[in-house]
Structure formats: C-alpha cells, structure tokens
Chains A and B, each alone.
Chain A
Amino acid sequence: MRCLLASAAGLFGVLAVSLSLGEGRGDPRAHWVYRAPVRADLPSCAGESGSAIDALVRARLLDAGLAPAAPATRLELIRRVTFDLTGLPPTLDEIDAFLADERPDAFERVVDRLLASPRYGERRAQHWLDVVRFAETEGFEYDRVIPGLWRYRDWVIRALNDDMPFDRFAVMQIAGDELGSGEDTRDDSRDASAENGHLVAAGFHRLGPVRRNAGNQEVASSRNEVLTERTDAIGTVFLGLTIGCARCHDHKFDAISQRDYYRLQAYVAATREHDVMLASDEARAAWKARQDAVTAEIEKIKKALDDATGEAETALRRRLAAAEKRLPRPLPTVATIRDEDRTPIHVLERGDWERKGDAVGARVPAVLLASEDTPELPADVERPRTHLARWIADPANPLTARVIANRVWQHHLGHGLVGTPNDFGVNGDLPSHPELLDRLALELIRHGWRLKSLHRAIVVSDVYRQSVRAASPAVAALARERDPDNRLLWRFNRRRLHAEELRDAMLAVAGVLDTRMFGKSVIVPVEDELVELLYKPSQWEVTPARREHLRRSIYLFAKRNLRLPFMEVFDLPDQQTSCARRESSTHAPQALELLNGRLSNELAAAFARRLEREAGEDDGERVRLAYRLATGRPPTAQELALGVAFLEQGSMKELALAIFNLNAFLHVD
C-alpha cells in the first residue's frame, strides 16, 4: 500500500518520518534510539531481489516520486567494491576474471573473495581507527611515542579479518585487561586474542591525547582530563552519544543528565596507564642499566645548562641532543591499562575539577534503564568496566548494533542512515530509513554480530549496485529539487578516494606496493623543514629500509604533531578527536601535491617504467594499460588519441603523472 502513497506527503518523505520519530521531544525516553529496534514488515512493492535493503530503500524512493538508477557496469562495480572492501584498485586479472564469469552469482563471488582477503581488514581497520582517534603519540608539547601502541592497530586488523563478533570486539576494547586471557574467551581461539590480545585491545583507553608538562603538577586536574577523554570516547565510539555535552551541566531535552555522565565516568575511575614489558628479565636488566646511565648524564647536562649562556649553552645543548640519542630503544611493550587506585568521582559543577558536587558511583544512563531507582555499583566492585562492556554488548542495548550498522552503511553508501554517526541522541539527525536501520541492526545480531555478513548484505544489494548516473534526466531534475543530498539513494554516490586509498592506489598502480602486514610502524621521509617544526626533531627517525616506505598507509607512523602533508591535504582526520565521517574537500594544494610533490613524482616515474616494461614499444598499448591499471577501464578513443599525441613530445613519466591527476583515477564511480 505504501507505494500508492506517492502523494504530497510522499514528496517530503524524509520530513514525514522525522516528524513521527521526533514525537515526544519533551520526554527523552520517547526518542527513537532509546526504544528497541523493531523488525518491520517489508513493503509489498519490494524489488525482485528479495533483499530487505532494496525493498525498504525502494519504497521510500517511490514514495517520493523518484526512481532508482540503472545498474552500474561490471567495470564500475568491480572497481567500486574492491576499493570499498580493500582500499585498493582491482588487478587486471581480477577485472578480466569477473568480466568473463557468466555465472549468475559472479558478483557475489567477487564479494566473497574480497571479504576473505587480508586487505579487507587493512581497509576496514582504517575506518575504526578514525572513530577511535588512533595515533601513536600523546600529542601536546612532548608528543611522546606510546611504545607498542601499534599493536592495537594490528589487533584491529586481525580482529576484522577474523570476523571477530562485534560484541566481543567491543568488550575486549572496553575491558580486555579485566577479563584476562582465561576469561570469556568463548570460541575465539583462532582470532586476535592470541599474543596478549586482551591487553592490546584495552589499549583503546590509551588512544586520546595526553597533556604532560614539567614543573608544578595539578595532579587532580590532569587526572580529570584523562578520565574525561576515556569516558567521552566510550560514549562516542560504542554508544554513538555525544555524552561530553553533559559534562558541564544538564541540557534541556537531552537524555543524558550531568549525573549520568559522571556515573559513566565512574566505570573508568580506576583505570591507570600500564605498560607491559614483553622482554626477558636479562634483557630488561641490561636495558635499565643503560637507561639509568644515560639518564644520569642527561640530568648532569641539564643542571649545567641552568647557569650556562652563549657558546657554553650551545655546546651543552649539542651534548644533550647527543646523549638523548644514546638512550636505549624501548623494549617490546604492550600499551594497556589496569584498575588500581580508584579516583573518587563527583559531579563537577561546570565540569570544573575544583568544584565538586555529589559523589557518584557507576551506573548506566537512566534513559536506558527500566527504573530510575536502579542502584549504582558499589565503589569497590571488581572489574567495573566488565559490567559496562557487557551492558554495551548486550543484544538488548538499543544503541550498539544500530551505531555500528550505521557506520558500515555510511562507509559503503557515502551517507549514514543517521547522518550524525557519532550522535544518535536528541540533537543528532533522525534516520532517513528507520526501518532499514533497525533491520540491519537486528540482522547483525542474528548473524552473531559478524560484520562481514553485514558488509555482504549491503554490497550485494541493488541499491549498492546502481549507477552514479540517475535513471533519466527527468529523475535527475526532480531529485535535485526533492532530495539534492541523495539521502533516498536515487543513484550511487560518487566519492573521492580517501588519503590512504589514494597513496595505496598510486603504489599499486605503479607496481611497487609492498603488501607485508603488521609490525612496528614505518616512518617515511618528509622534508627537513617539517621535521624542524617538531619540538623534538629527533622524534622523526626515518625507517632505514627503503622498501618499508612502500607499505600500505595503515602501517605508517601516526604522529599527532607531524601528519604527512600528502595525507593532510586529502583530508586525513586530525587524529585528536573522533572522526565519524571524512571530509572530502577540493582545493589547489591537492593539485600542487599531485603535480609537484615528491611522492607522486617518484611513483609516476615507477609507473612509467612499469608501462614501458609491460606494454612494449607501442604508445597506444602503453596508454591503454595506464588507463586500465589506474581507472579500471580501457580509454575511450578520444582519450587514447590524446594520450598518444602527448607522447609524441611528452615523456612517459609526465603521462603517468597526468593519469594520477585524473578525476577518473581520484574518484570511484
């Protein structure tokens, strides 16, 4: 019946739904996200695919008087899905195999191959690292490296490749250290629990920026900053709630009160940094001896510096820098946390640590409890975060599954069903397709929280497989008026490659990508001027093996105070706060980077050598190969002619550079 409602109300489909969901604004409990997901009946006008996704999207589209786009071509599809699931372009063999596969489930087979590829975890991990604001240094003045934090990144990649159930994935990050290796392991013997996985995962609590400074210490103030970071991260990442807003005072209409906020903070009140050394006793003793010796020398120089000026000071500074270089490398370490020495938690007036109100204990927000009278956990409760983690991972929690399902949807379709993926609260956007979001969440839980099942359901849908071009000019004209942001999905959203995808694709196309996985992060060379802008230039110690510089971007060192300029111009998130959705801006420094930058010119030269090597002497063949590698399709006759004409005068390297600068390379249709 819904299909017949393509009436005036249907024209404003999004708005109509919003109105019903926004009812009861005065009572936060009535807000849609605090109610359990509902499995709605599918509309009768579902497409032939039988997919719930297609049925629910199509119903809204038809309601609005719009129509879905035609299916994308096979060439478009394989490039699209390969980038989406692995962050890399398809190889020529993969393209050819798909084109030649006439079986009806040829595309599903491609999807299954990609989901099983180790590259899948490397790509999907990047999205997660954005959300948890992963970086390997503390930020602020010292921007110290947190030794071994790269293991957290590797753990995420492994967990995703192993398709670790998302509830488990959440529990391990929130409370892995409390669980210990003997607890709650269920059927994860084959997954990322190996090698201290539970401790590594809890490194989640170490990811925020940390302010340290010399001199008088405001211990309570610094502690408050740390606890605030840890509390807000849990809210943003797992619950999709911007609870930090409640830190200073209650907000009208908001479901999370100030007291709720500090009750959440009480769960992490005992968390303290904990670095677990993995080295043997002897190795540790030797390390300590050297560390103590050099530290003593450094202290001596620093003392001398107090009274030195002029040339004497310069000489001492040189000695200091030299001594600092002799400090031993950190021993293999796991950066994690543990519970000890619980900080008493109070409601803080205006969030000010000096204005303490009532003491509170751990409890989840009232809006998510059956009764306001639910008691707080006692202050001495064992494993407090395990309580929180189990509540978050409970299938009955109305937030967790919806929040992750929405993130996955956004990564594939370009826009979340909820447009504010880190804020499902009363101030966030309302879902464009509430029934669909609920169904995705319920299906995820039904499939044992396995994310690969969710990815698969989305990318094999007709919605995902439609073209970037509207069904007809008439639909396009109508849609631009009624749904200019394409929330109803009358076509697929073209997107620019993310910074990491772009660099990885350039490496892959040039034929020099090093696909070795895991391990200590790689530091690539950058201009001296940038290193000199570091407070301690010695912190940028380039990885000596040049081959390492060609590894995937996810393995590059993530330093808060020196972000790779190449990545920065292409909207790398700032890694200071959670990033739920990447910006995709367009500006002249991007063009300068791709035209004049060292990376693109070096890789263009490698790409040119590859073309000469693999395509033989014929310029036409070279242009053809360049297009196929970089854009996934052969050039049109006009493109071919332009390329060949250019090569009469221009160099192969400049042609290769031009290819890196093409819209057809930088964007995915």
Chain B
Amino acid sequence: MSTETVNPRPHHRLTRNRREFVRDAFCGFGSLALASMLHDERLRAGEHAGTAGLHPANGPAKAVIFLFMAGGPSHIETFDPKPLLDRLHGQRRPREFGEAKYQFVEKNAKLLGTRRTFKRYGAEGIEVSDLFPNVGTCIDDIAVLRSCHGDMVVHSAAQYELFSGRITPGFPSMGSWIVYGLGSESRSLPSYVVMPDPDGALEAGQPMYANGFLPARFQPTMLRAGDTPIRNLALPRGVTLAERRRTLELIDRLNRANPAPEDDDLAARMEAYDLAFRLQTEAPQVFDLSRESPETLELYGVGVEPTNDYGRRCLLARRLVEHGVRFVCVVSGGGPGTLQWDAHKDIEENHVRMAAQTDRPIAGLLRDLKRRGLLDETLVLWGGEFGRSPEAQGGRGRDHHNLGFTMWMAGGGVRGGQTVGSTDAIGLRAVERPYHLRDIHTTILHQLGLDQTELTYPHLGRDERLTLVEGKVIREIVG
C-alpha cells in the first residue's frame, strides 16, 4: 500500500493512509463534535492541529457576511455598464456574440438597453449605476468581479451551486464547510446564521443553506423575524427561568451521579447543556438593537422605509460577527419572483425597488465595519445566483443569465477599489479572466486560511469538498 503520495486526480480522494489518519484523528465515532467543541478552546489557547476539522484561523478573514441578492440581480443595471447594448436596443443579438440558453427567452428575442446612468466613484473612477449611490461611495473597499459565471440558468440548481458548489441538493453549504473548518469563536451564539427575507422562501428551499452530509452540529441557524429569532430559545410558556435553572441542575447532577468517565460523547453532551443555557441568557442581548446609537441606526437606514428591514438585518449581521459568528447570510428577496431580484416582467420597477431597500444598509454595513476595525477581518460578499440576460423578456424584463455576471467582495483582506475581469460588449459572456462560482468559494476559503484540498469530509466513497474540482484563487484581489 502506498503511503503519503498525492493522488494525481485532483478531485479524487486522498490515499488511504492519509485519509484514515485524518478521519481517525478527528472524525471517528461521533468524536467529531467533541473535537470541534474542544477546538473552540484550542483556538483560544492558540493551539491547533492543522488538519481537517481543526484548522487554525490564520487567514486575514475571520468571518464572512454574504449579502445574498436572491433571484439574480442584473449586472447590466448595476456594476457592469454596456453602452453598446443601449445602441443595439431592440435588435437581435449580433451573431459574433455567440449562443446562450435561457430559461424563458426564445432565440428571436431582442436586446434590451438600460435606463440606468452610471457614475464614476473612488480613486479609480469605477462605474456604479444610480441604483447604488451609497455603495458607490464605498467603492475603494470593493473589488468588483465582473466576470463571474456558473453552470445553471434555473433558480434552484443555480442557488445550490452558489451555496454548495453542486447543482443538486445534498451537499454542505459554504457556511457549514467554513464552520466545520474553523470551528466557532463564540461561546454563546451559533456559528452559522442565515437571515431569510421575511417576504418568503426561495426556490432551492432549506437544503440550500443546510449542512448536507456534515454532522448536524454544522447546520445553519435560521434567524426569524420577531421576538424569538432563534428556535427554542424562549422558555416554554409557564416555566420561569429560576424553575428551569433547577431543572438543568437536576439534569447535571443526575448525569454526574452515574458517570461513564471513558466516554467523551457523554461529557460533550453535558457541556452542550452549558452552551444551551448561555445561548438562552446571552444571545438575546446580541439581538437587541436598542443598544445601538441613533447615528448608527440611521447609517443603516433603520427606522425608515424602505430600508428598515434590510438595515436591521445588516446591523444584526455586524453585531453577530462582532460576537464571533463565522458566517452570516443576509438574504434580500423572497417569496414570489417579483419580491426577489427576479425581474422577468419589468427590470426598472423591480431593480429600483430592490436596490432602494438595500443600497443604504449595505453601504452602512461597510462603513460601520470599517470604523470599528472589523472590515479587515470580515469578508463581505455581494451577489445572486446569476445575473440577467441582455435580451428583453416580454418587452421590459430580463431573463436569468449564468454566462457572465457581477459579484463583489470587500474586506477580509480583499484589495478594493478595482474591477476584475469583464464581460463582452453586451454583457452576455464573461470573456476576460472568467471566474466560476467555485473560484469565489476557493477565494473565500483562502482568505479564511483554509485550503480547498484539505477541507474534506468522507461521503459515499469520496473525500468531498466545497469546490468539487479545484477552484482558482482570484489572485488580483488577495494578498
């Protein structure tokens, strides 16, 4: 049996010795959870083992905030101006731009120019449309990735790919992978949090955010609107905190009365009760936005419409990463397509409305993170599961479009104030330095100090990883 050789196939599993070593060391028999739990302590002590499940957090970024623009915002209306498209408005796509497959738009569709105007911002004069005047003022911290592409042109599959790198459900989301890799820094909060849009669900549903085959410890915590943002955090009706404390004491004493000292899992379970109690008593303070100054609330647009909701959630995202949460997803868009960025009918009406809800909160978040010194260690990612078609759908709308679109990153060691890559002259296809969604994943892992080939988990005979086949780090924006 060969030993530490590296397999020639990049996405093939590691050799047996290596793999067994990794698994036996950290994943054997339910001890993984314990390992991760202990990991918190080790991180604090500056200790690490440097292998899957127990990575040192040695990248510039410590946390990620994903501003997920669900439904697919148009690159053409936001960060990727296409003057030629305006000139070709109403015509068929010239043949030299090649073919594209859309979910709805037929082959004979006409190109649709934009009504947006673009303005140059920042030291480099980067163009941002009038949908995002506030974000524009932060452009020196933002790296605009104009050449993103993915494999799928329908929501559900594209959303799975955006989150898990696979076009089918059942694979862990990037949030779960990151928590698996880095553990949690917080002793009283969940480490992976999703804040859905209160308008409703998305096409890919819950499996999009989920832990897939990773243990349940790495599942997301969904934050709900209202007084009880986390499930089961509130005591059942009629039970007082004092009463519950006595019950917890009883559980602890009874467990200790019958110890099984050789079993780590039992010890871990007892510790889970301590954590649960802290979660119950400390987490509500983190959710309490009344502790913020009026100036900060205003920065995010909290208390005024149409920014109140997204502003509150962005502000909460900052409070969460401040308290050691690793991955926060703040979703804009939910429910029927018209309440997402899914502008099939009318790109103007939809995008003006959706941008108005998010522009100020996003800019507020970036500024707030920066002035608190948190931006350097918090990677902010903006984007949807795809962009929108240069062709018109039904006259005023745009269809889904996965061949070329824009996402952006800020903070977490990313060099802002630049654009990377480009689409062709009508925004159809990423042509210069194209970056696949898996390259986005790879870059995020890289900034967190995680190596895509090391962060693996055995499933169905393979050591699976977030990036499937090897992704590229977007070198232009890092280090």
Choose one: B8, B32, B263; the contact of A585 (CB below 8 Å). B32
* Chain A residue with the shortest CB-CB distance to B1: A22
CB pair B461 A568 closer than 8 Å: no
Q: How far is the CA of A242 from the CA of B273 in the complex (A)?
A: 39
Given A586-B268, A596-B234: A657 and B247 interface contact (C-beta under 8 Å): yes
CB pair B170 A574 closer than 8 Å: yes
B243 at the interface (CB under 8 A from A): yes
B123 at the interface (CB under 8 A from A): no
A192 at the interface (CB under 8 A from B): no
CB pair B155 A596 closer than 8 Å: no
A333 at the interface (CB under 8 A from B): no
A579 at the interface (CB under 8 A from B): yes
CB pair B460 A236 closer than 8 Å: yes
A466 at the interface (CB under 8 A from B): no
A1 at the interface (CB under 8 A from B): no
Chain A binding surface SS class: loop
A556 to chain B, nearest CB (A): 17
Q: Among B211-219, B304-312, B421-429, which stretch is in contact with chain A?
A: B211-219
Q: How far is the CA of A638 from the CA of B258 in the complex (A)?
A: 9
CB pair B461 A427 closer than 8 Å: yes
Q: How far is the CA of A596 from the CA of B231 in the complex (A)?
A: 9
A145 to chain B, nearest CB (A): 14
CB pair A571 B216 closer than 8 Å: yes
CB pair A574 B30 closer than 8 Å: no
Q: Among B43-51, B100-108, B131-139, which stretch is in contact with chain A?
A: B100-108
Tell me the count of chain B residues lying within 8 A, CB to CB, of chain A.
Answer: 94
> Which A residues touch B157, using CB under 8 A?
140, 211
Per-residue contact bits, chain A 562-580, to B (CB 8 Å; 1 contact, 0 not): 1101001111111011111
Q: How far is the CA of A425 from the CA of B275 in the complex (A)?
A: 41
A295 to chain B, nearest CB (A): 20
Q: How far is the CA of A535 from the CA of B224 in the complex (A)?
A: 16
Per-residue contact bits, chain B 279-321, to A (CB 8 Å; 1 contact, 0 not): 1100000000000000000000000000000000000000000
> Which B residues touch A22, using CB under 8 A?
1, 16
CB pair A251 B12 closer than 8 Å: yes
B190 at the interface (CB under 8 A from A): yes
CB pair A667 B168 closer than 8 Å: no
CB pair B275 A591 closer than 8 Å: yes
Given A139-B169, A586-B217, A591-B276: A470 and B207 interface contact (C-beta under 8 Å): no
Q: How far is the CA of A496 from the CA of B33 in the complex (A)?
A: 13
Tell me the count of chain A residues lying within 8 A, CB to CB, of chain B.
Answer: 105
A546 at the interface (CB under 8 A from B): no
A376 at the interface (CB under 8 A from B): no
Given A485-B29, A577-B213, A586-B34: A597 and B232 interface contact (C-beta under 8 Å): yes
Choose one: B219, B246, B258; the contact of A636 (CB below 8 Å). B258
CB pair A242 B156 closer than 8 Å: no
Per-residue contact bits, chain A 595-622, to B (CB 8 Å; 1 contact, 0 not): 1111001000000000000000000000
Given A496-B30, A561-B205, A576-B207: A596 and B232 interface contact (C-beta under 8 Å): yes
CB pair A650 B250 closer than 8 Å: yes
Choose one: B155, B280, B459; the contact of A577 (CB below 8 Å). B459
> Which A residues touch B7, using CB under 8 A?
252
Q: How far is the CA of A25 from the CA of B5 in the complex (A)?
A: 14
A584 to chain B, nearest CB (A): 4
Q: How far is the CA of A476 from the CA of B261 in the complex (A)?
A: 12
B272 at the interface (CB under 8 A from A): yes
CB pair B8 A586 closer than 8 Å: no
A649 at the interface (CB under 8 A from B): yes
CB pair A245 B462 closer than 8 Å: yes
* Chain B residue with the shortest CB-CB distance to A662: B254
CB pair A565 B269 closer than 8 Å: no
CB pair A140 B216 closer than 8 Å: no
Residue from A428, A592, A601 having most chain B Cβ neighbours under 10 A: A592
Interface residues of A in 233-272 (CB under 8 A from B): 236, 241-242, 244-245, 251-252
Q: How far is the CA of A587 from the CA of B12 in the complex (A)?
A: 31
* Chain B residue with the shortest CB-CB distance to A645: B250
B22 to chain A, nearest CB (A): 13
Q: How far is the CA of A588 from the CA of B274 in the complex (A)?
A: 8
CB pair B203 A141 closer than 8 Å: yes
Q: Among A59-67, A388-396, A525-533, which stretch is in contact with chain B?
A: A525-533
A290 at the interface (CB under 8 A from B): no
A415 at the interface (CB under 8 A from B): yes
Per-residue contact bits, chain A 467-487, to B (CB 8 Å; 1 contact, 0 not): 011100000100000001110
Q: How far is the CA of A143 from the CA of B205 in the complex (A)?
A: 9
A19 at the interface (CB under 8 A from B): yes
CB pair A494 B263 closer than 8 Å: yes
CB pair A527 B1 closer than 8 Å: no
Given A18-B1, A476-B262: A589 and B221 interface contact (C-beta under 8 Å): yes
A113 to chain B, nearest CB (A): 29
> Which A residues touch B196, using CB under 8 A?
533
* A-B CB contact pairs (8 Å), 29 listed: A25-B2, A140-B169, A141-B154, A141-B155, A211-B168, A216-B106, A423-B460, A427-B462, A484-B24, A496-B265, A529-B224, A534-B205, A565-B231, A568-B219, A571-B215, A574-B213, A576-B170, A578-B460, A584-B29, A587-B37, A587-B272, A588-B276, A592-B232, A595-B244, A650-B247, A654-B247, A655-B250, A658-B250, A663-B266
Extra contacts, 11 of them, besides A213-B155, A236-B460, A658-B254 (Cβ < 8 A), are: A430-B16, A476-B262, A534-B201, A535-B205, A569-B216, A577-B212, A589-B232, A596-B236, A661-B251, A663-B258, A664-B254
Nearest 10 A-B pairs (CB), nearest first? A576-B170, A423-B461, A242-B461, A585-B215, A591-B276, A561-B205, A588-B275, A584-B30, A141-B156, A215-B103
Chain A residues with a Cβ under 8 A of chain B = 18-19, 22, 25, 139-141, 143, 209, 211, 213-216, 218, 225, 236, 241-242, 244-245, 251-252, 306, 309, 313, 317, 414-415, 420, 422-423, 425, 427-430, 468-470, 476, 484-486, 493-494, 496, 527, 529, 532-535, 560-563, 565, 568-574, 576-580, 583-593, 595-598, 601, 636, 638-639, 642-643, 646, 649-651, 654-655, 657-658, 661-664, 666-667
